[in-house]
């Protein structure tokens, strides 16, 4: 995974829609998209059925359920999720060292038991919707935001995870510090023509790739566009300038 791929294969489109019918309509409307993210909204609505739909179309899957619980519980969740044969799976780094280690082992066990490839387990460093001000004043974290994101990434690396989810604004620093094969997956990506919405720490697709992201996660700029195919095409064209 990562840098060897063509630029547009490094875009994961977030399928944040309320039901299976809307999801399938988007998947069929965007046949060029090879990697889809199923998150809390859609998975809570459809359960694993949507994963089967994506697999039947030979799509890669990022199952973004952002587990955050005690070690025994996240391990159980990762063991179960790994059986679906998804490509990427998320846990919050804030679950802590014991939970991250337990999750890593459990994901391997679940996949082995089901006879599928284990998912790459990646940790959320700090949600891209959180600003430096919110980190300090609401979450009461006494570190500068880039330092906090780096500490979370290093914790994930020490615990044997495959990578992290980070904002494009921190990806260059993480790329320099983390191992070369440590995956850096960036949501919060916004072309200049798209609304930022609730994303606080964004860069454009080209800037994020140049800064060292392996994958970009892009949802609403494509899925909520009046013409999703055109939005996808504009992003793909932007990325050919940096590939
Ligand atoms: O820190 C994070 C972690 C995950 N996400 C998810 O990525 C997409 C982004 O969607 P947009 O519509 O492009 O904002 C969404 O599914 C989030 O749950 C994130 O944004 N930030």
pLDDT band at 8 (very low <50, low <70, confident <90, very high): confident
The Cα diameter of the chain in Å comes to: 47
Question: Ligand 1: which of 170, 187, 203, 221 to mutate, most ligand atoms within 8 Å of CB?
Answer: 187
| Residue 115 labelled as part of a binding site | no
Q: Is the distance from the beta carbon of residue 188 to the nearest atom of ligand 1 less than 6 Å?
A: yes
State residue 243's pLDDT score. 67
The pLDDT of residue 7 is above 90: no
Cα–Cα nearest to 39, from 127, 100, 112: 127
Rounded Cα distance, 92 and 103, in Å: 11
Q: What is the pLDDT of residues 42-64, one digit of tens each?
A: 999 999 999 999 999 999 999 99
C-beta of 218 in contact with ligand 1 (< 6 A): yes
pLDDT in tens, 64-115: 999 999 999 999 999 999 999 999 999 999 999 999 999 999 999 999 999 9
Angstrom distance (rounded) from CA 175 to CA 162? 14
233 flagged as catalytic:
no
Q: Quick one: pLDDT at residue 226? A: 97
Tell whether pTM > 0.90: yes
Distance CA 98, CA 159 (A): 8
Residue 50: burial class (beta carbons within 10 Å; 0-12, 13-18, 19+):
buried
pLDDT tens-digit series, residues 102-143: 999 999 999 999 999 999 999 999 999 999 999 999 999 999
Q: Name, in order, each residue with C-beta under 8 angstroms of 92's C-beta and a sequence gap of 6 or more.
A: 66, 67, 68, 123, 124
What is the 217 CA–ligand 1 centroid distance (Å)? 7
DSSP-assigned beta bridge partners for residue 123: 91, 164
Segment 165-203, tens digit of pLDDT:
999 999 999 999 999 999 999 999 999 999 999 999 999
Evaluate whether 218 touches 189 at the Cβ level (below 8 Å): yes
164 Cβ inside 6 Å of ligand 1: no
Q: Is 67 annotated for ligand binding? A: yes
């Amino acid at each position: 995974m990562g840098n060897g791929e063509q630029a547009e294969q490094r875009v994961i489109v977030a399928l944040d829609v309320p039901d299976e019918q809307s999801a399938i309509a988007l998947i069929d409307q965007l046949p060029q998209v090879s990697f889809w993210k199923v998150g809390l909204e859609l998975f809570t609505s459809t359960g694993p059925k949507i994963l089967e739909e994506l697999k039947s179309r030979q799509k890669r899957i990022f199952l973004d359920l952002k587990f955050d619980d005690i070690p025994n519980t996240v391990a159980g969740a990762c063991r179960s999720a790994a059986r679906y044969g998804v490509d990427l799976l998320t846990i919050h780094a804030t679950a802590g060292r014991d939970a991250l280690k337990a999750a890593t082992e459990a994901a391997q066990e679940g996949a082995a038991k089901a006879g599928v490839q284990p998912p790459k387990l990646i940790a959320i460093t700090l949600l891209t919707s959180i600003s430096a001000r919110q980190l300090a004043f609401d979450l009461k974290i006494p570190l500068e935001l880039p330092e906090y994101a780096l500490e979370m990434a290093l914790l994930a690396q020490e615990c044997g995870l495959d990578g992290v989810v980070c904002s494009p604004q921190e990806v260059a620093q993480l790329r320099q510090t983390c191992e070369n094969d440590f995956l850096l997956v960036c949501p919060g990506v916004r072309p200049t023509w798209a609304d930022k919405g609730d994303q606080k720490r964004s860069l454009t697709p080209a800037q994020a790739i140049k800064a060292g992201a392996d994958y970009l996660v892009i949802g609403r700029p494509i899925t909520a566009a009046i013409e999703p195919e055109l939005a996808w095409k504009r992003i793909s064209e932007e990325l050919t300038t940096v590939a």
